[in-house]
Chain A
Amino acid sequence: MTDDTDDAGKGTRTGGRGEANADGEPLLVVEDLETHYPVTRGLLRREVGRVRAVDGVSFAVDRGEALGLVGESGCGKTTTALSVLHIEEPTGGAVRFDGRRVADLSGADRTAFRRRAQLIVQDPNEAFNPRMTVGEAVGEPLAVHGMEDPERRREIVVDILERVGLSASAADRYPHEFSGGEKQRIAIARALVLDPDLIVADEPTSALDGRVQSDVLGLLAEVRRRFSVAVLLISHDVDVVRRFCDRVAVMYLGEIVEKGPIERVLGEPGHPYTRLLLDSVPSLDPGGSEFPRPLSEAVPDPADPPDGCRFHTRCPELIPPDDVDLPREQWRSIAGFRFAVEVGELPDGVDAGATDARTETLREAFGLPGTVPDEDVERAVADALEAVRDGDHERASDVLEAAIPTVCERETPDDTEVDGREVGCHRYDPAVDAGPLVR
């Protein structure tokens, strides 16, 4: 590799988390990264809001390490990848690469950063200029970075193509002559040609399936081992991350909710969102799949994320108020009722002119118990049901919000260290009277 001589293997992780330590600072350190996009309106493009695509994200990647960033579409994982590389300028926070702030780099240093940190994108069909041969495409970064001698470039290109499992003759062909998997190999070759220290791979296998997906993942793993290059792998598929990475960070609505070693986080998820994500993937065991249900389905708007814990409007583990002591299922149905009304996900038959419906019918439709054993809550539920019957959803939602306040909505959870992983959930906050996640 470049000037680093340490054996950048899997074993050289700094103290579990890899946050910036005095000396052996990890290769890539991301602190409180923020990328907001303004929402503008009118002729003067007045800013009326901000989409907080990435909102205070911190993580670190060691030399030779593979970190997975996993989450659903719209959670900000791709924006994070682009912001780390300063392809998208972050609006806040810091990215440090090899000990130096990337934002401060200019001239030759900036060029060196561009050489040492490479990007692989999801769709290999869009990654290449159709008029350039594969040899030209793979050799182009060499030319850009000052290698003038075409003979020399050709030599390196052929060597690298062979290393990714293609033949030397591929250099004279055009991208359209290759299959999707082969194109992704070429993309990997082009990322490797500059001998980088970090590869940011944004969904590198999502356009591929089956054995070809497995081959490309295998190639990336091989590349990582042989060249001891660090990989930041962005994926929506937890199984891909599980197969490839050492550590994982789980994103939801612009924030990281949990991070830690693969076997800890994916083996025993600490955050309710991680668990929802994992349990939503069907098991390979035929007939064995039962899927969890979040309190509400809709992912909130990143321009207007919920207060407190951003997951609270969907969280099946929402924490009840201290003075409310209800069986778990009952509490869940009441909390589900509240957010269903709030986001407008009403069950069958409730939305279409329910004014003549009896509240008992509504109760059933929402899966609520006949009577709630807690007097205050029961009164609020009955009130809210009446409001729903009258079509006044706002009042229903206000009544419920007042009757069952939750710490999850009130306060933003701090990241807490739990058995080697870091979880942002009030269930691990010693000041909150709620047990950790149980199966």
Chain B
Amino acid sequence: MSGGALLSVEDLRTYMRTDGETVRAVDGVSFAVDRGETVCLVGESGSGKSVTCESLTGIVPQPPAEIVGGEVTFDGVTLTDLEEGRLREVRGDRIAHVFQNPQGSLDPVYTVGQQVVEAITIHCDVAGAAARERAVELLRDVGIPRAGDRFDEYPHEFSGGMRQRVAIAVALAADPDLLVADEPTTSVDVTVQARLIELLGDLAEEGTGLLWVTHDPRVVAAVADRVLVMFGGTIVERGPIEEVFASPGHPYTQALFDSYRGPSGSTDPAAREDVPADGCRFREGCPHAVPACAAGDQPPFYPVDGADDNADRADTDDDHGDSDGDSGDSDDGHAASSEHAASCVYHGPGYDAGVVMADARGMGAGNERQEGDR
């Protein structure tokens, strides 16, 4: 993995244990976020994207969750080894979270100003008038009009979009290096969403790393430098935004994109598939599934498309991922973590990638909303 990355996650596994049943909510996820970079984690509800975020700084409720494996490294420090006290310093100081629902993160009995001041005094060495001044400045930075006047108002006096801005101001109080935003615009109107996208985009410009979770590919297109597509607790495709959107290589990514295009391409009204706990998690819903898809932990990442992928394939000594276990354990064994790659056997040796790529309809200009062009 890129040594200089701000955040790097290796083979993270978080399982949920309930009633004697274990759900592999996050099952072998690896990625990195650099300074000033916006990485989007996209997937449907239940894909494990929120649990991934909450596992980074250990805020996922344990139990029922248990982080059973993997390593999270932030600015050279291995978070997964830290004790709770040290971890709490990192959380808030260096890594801040913003959630979907601002009502949940703001306390209704304190004024918004008090809440920003509280965050400042906890994480920085200022108090009193200086903290208040800094709080007003923060509120103004996130676009609260008349921040000085509104400092003494309570969260309920703010609109949903303004409340989310306050939550962002609280998150920014300690000037974090990494902001983890879990569906930050999902509960606000589109006109407000546009402002929040601009606001968080400015932060990234200034060097803050951004891990942005969303289910909406439209938001991904607007904010991401790189994208990670999640399904069933695993990352199934990753790469630079332009490449993934232009030629989605994993059948799941293709299905997800298609669902934003037509009035349901699927004529099968049946409920969605059960997700298996090994191999390719999408195989039950995949039109191209072959027996090899069930092998191992997860198919290795192979480069998608690209003129030079033959060379890459030639030096892979591991064959089609049926070597059970070990190939799946190292997700990045086959494609560099920054390039466009899919965890799908069809992009590996011995298969014709053309079979799945025939369904790859890009999301960019010109491809948008052309129904029936297959």
Q: Which residues of A contact B (CB under 8 A)?
A: 72-73, 164-166, 179-182, 185, 208-215, 217-219, 221-222, 236, 238-239, 243-244, 276-277, 280-289, 291-292, 294, 297-299, 343-346, 348-349, 351-352
Q: Is the CB of B148 within 8 A of A72?
A: no
Interface residues of B in 133-182 (CB under 8 A from A): 136, 140, 145-149, 159-160
Residue of B nearest to A245 (CB): B263
- B88 contacts across to A, CB distance below 8 A: none
Contact of A214 with B259 at beta-carbon distance under 8 Å, contacts A284-B217, A284-B218, A291-B198 already known: yes
Q: Is the CB of A212 within 8 A of B272?
A: yes
Q: Is the CB of A287 within 8 A of B242?
A: yes
Residue of B nearest to A216 (CB): B264
- B368 contacts across to A, CB distance below 8 A: 283-285
Q: Is the CB of B190 within 8 A of A73?
A: no
Binds A, one of B219-227, B312-320, B334-342: B219-227
Quick check: is B241 within 8 A (CB to CB) of the other chain?
Answer: yes
- B107 contacts across to A, CB distance below 8 A: none
Tell me the complex Cα distance, A221–B159, Å: 34
Q: Which of A182, A210, A282, A349 contacts B218 (CB 8 A)?
A: A282
Contact of A346 with B194 at beta-carbon distance under 8 Å, contacts A284-B368, A289-B221 already known: no
Residue of A nearest to B219 (CB): A282
Q: Is the CB of A286 within 8 A of B194?
A: no
Contact of A218 with B271 at beta-carbon distance under 8 Å, contacts A282-B221, A344-B145 already known: no
- B194 contacts across to A, CB distance below 8 A: 280, 282, 291-292
Interface size on B, residues (CB 8 A): 54
Residue of A nearest to B220 (CB): A286
Q: Assuming A209-B45, A210-B43, A297-B191, what are 15 further A-B pairs, CB within 8 angstroms?
A: A164-B269, A165-B270, A179-B271, A211-B266, A215-B272, A280-B191, A282-B197, A283-B222, A284-B221, A286-B242, A288-B365, A297-B145, A345-B146, A346-B145, A349-B140
Quick check: is B262 within 8 A (CB to CB) of the other chain?
Answer: yes
Quick check: is B15 within 8 A (CB to CB) of the other chain?
Answer: no
Q: Is the CB of B256 within 8 A of A210?
A: yes
Quick check: is B189 within 8 A (CB to CB) of the other chain?
Answer: yes
Q: How far is the CB of B234 from chain A (nearest CB, A)?
A: 16
Tell me the complex Cα distance, A62–B128, Å: 64
Quick check: is B206 within 8 A (CB to CB) of the other chain?
Answer: no
- A180 contacts across to B, CB distance below 8 A: 45
Q: How far is the CB of B254 from chain A (nearest CB, A)?
A: 11
- B195 contacts across to A, CB distance below 8 A: 291, 297
Tell me the complex Cα distance, A277–B189, Å: 9
- A344 contacts across to B, CB distance below 8 A: 145-146
What secondary structure prevails in chain A residues at the interface with B? Answer: loop
Tell me the complex Cα distance, A348–B147, Å: 9
Q: Is the CB of B44 within 8 A of A211?
A: yes
Quick check: is B66 within 8 A (CB to CB) of the other chain?
Answer: no
Contact of A209 with B189 at beta-carbon distance under 8 Å, contacts A282-B222, A284-B260 already known: no
- B262 contacts across to A, CB distance below 8 A: 214, 243
Of A286, A287, A289, A349, most B-chain CB atoms within 10 Å: A286
Residue of A nearest to B368 (CB): A284
Quick check: is B364 within 8 A (CB to CB) of the other chain?
Answer: yes
Q: Which of B146, B192, B220, B263 contacts A346 (CB 8 A)?
A: B146
Tell me the complex Cα distance, A166–B255, Å: 21
Q: Is the CB of A285 within 8 A of B269?
A: no
- B191 contacts across to A, CB distance below 8 A: 72, 276-277, 280, 294, 297
Q: Is the CB of B215 within 8 A of A209?
A: yes
Q: Which of A212, A214, A289 contacts B222 (CB 8 A)?
A: A289
Quick check: is B193 within 8 A (CB to CB) of the other chain?
Answer: yes
Q: How far is the CB of A271 from chain B (nearest CB, A)?
A: 14
- A343 contacts across to B, CB distance below 8 A: 145
- B99 contacts across to A, CB distance below 8 A: none
Tell me the complex Cα distance, A288–B223, Å: 10
Q: Which of B136, B218, B263 contacts A281 (CB 8 A)?
A: B218
Tell me the complex Cα distance, A287–B263, Å: 25
Residue of B nearest to A345 (CB): B145
Tell me the complex Cα distance, A294–B262, Å: 30
- B264 contacts across to A, CB distance below 8 A: 214-215, 217-219, 221
Q: Is the CB of A211 within 8 A of B222?
A: no
Q: Is the CB of B197 within 8 A of A291?
A: yes
Tell me the complex Cα distance, A10–B46, Å: 37
- B265 contacts across to A, CB distance below 8 A: 214
Residue of B nearest to A243 (CB): B263
Quick check: is B75 within 8 A (CB to CB) of the other chain?
Answer: no
Q: Is the CB of A283 within 8 A of B221?
A: yes
- A215 contacts across to B, CB distance below 8 A: 264, 266, 269, 272
Q: Is the CB of B189 within 8 A of A286?
A: no
- B43 contacts across to A, CB distance below 8 A: 210
Quick check: is B363 within 8 A (CB to CB) of the other chain?
Answer: yes
Q: How far is the CB of B74 from chain A (nearest CB, A)?
A: 27
Q: Is the CB of B263 within 8 A of A221?
A: yes
Q: Is the CB of A352 within 8 A of B148?
A: yes
Tell me the complex Cα distance, A344–B368, Å: 39
Quick check: is B31 within 8 A (CB to CB) of the other chain?
Answer: no
- B365 contacts across to A, CB distance below 8 A: 283, 285, 288
Q: How far is the CB of A189 from chain B (nearest CB, A)?
A: 11
Q: How far is the CB of B3 from chain A (nearest CB, A)?
A: 28
Q: Is the CB of A244 within 8 A of B263?
A: yes
- B263 contacts across to A, CB distance below 8 A: 214, 217-218, 221, 243-244
Quick check: is B245 within 8 A (CB to CB) of the other chain?
Answer: yes
Quick check: is B216 within 8 A (CB to CB) of the other chain?
Answer: yes
Q: What does the 1/0 interface line of B203-238 toward A look like (CB < 8 Å)? A: 000000000000111111110100000000000000
Tell me the complex Cα distance, A281–B265, Å: 22
Q: Is the CB of B245 within 8 A of A284?
A: yes
Tell me the complex Cα distance, A219–B216, Å: 21
Tell me the complex Cα distance, A222–B269, Å: 10
Q: How far is the CB of A95 from chain B (nearest CB, A)?
A: 27
Q: Is the CB of A182 within 8 A of B363?
A: no
Residue of B nearest to A71 (CB): B189
Q: How far is the CB of A65 from chain B (nearest CB, A)?
A: 15
Q: Is the CB of B363 within 8 A of A284?
A: yes
Q: Is the CB of B149 within 8 A of A351?
A: yes
- B364 contacts across to A, CB distance below 8 A: 284-286, 288
Q: How far is the CB of B260 from chain A (nearest CB, A)?
A: 7
Q: How far is the CB of A165 from chain B (nearest CB, A)?
A: 3
Q: How far is the CB of A287 from chain B (nearest CB, A)?
A: 7
Top 8 nearest A-B pairs (CB, nearest first) are: A218-B264, A165-B269, A282-B222, A214-B259, A291-B194, A210-B44, A209-B215, A345-B145
- B215 contacts across to A, CB distance below 8 A: 209-210
Supply 23 A–B pairs (Cβ within 8 Å), ascending by A: A166-B271, A211-B266, A212-B272, A214-B258, A215-B266, A217-B263, A236-B190, A243-B262, A276-B191, A281-B190, A282-B193, A282-B221, A284-B221, A285-B221, A286-B241, A289-B197, A289-B221, A289-B222, A291-B194, A297-B195, A344-B145, A345-B146, A351-B148
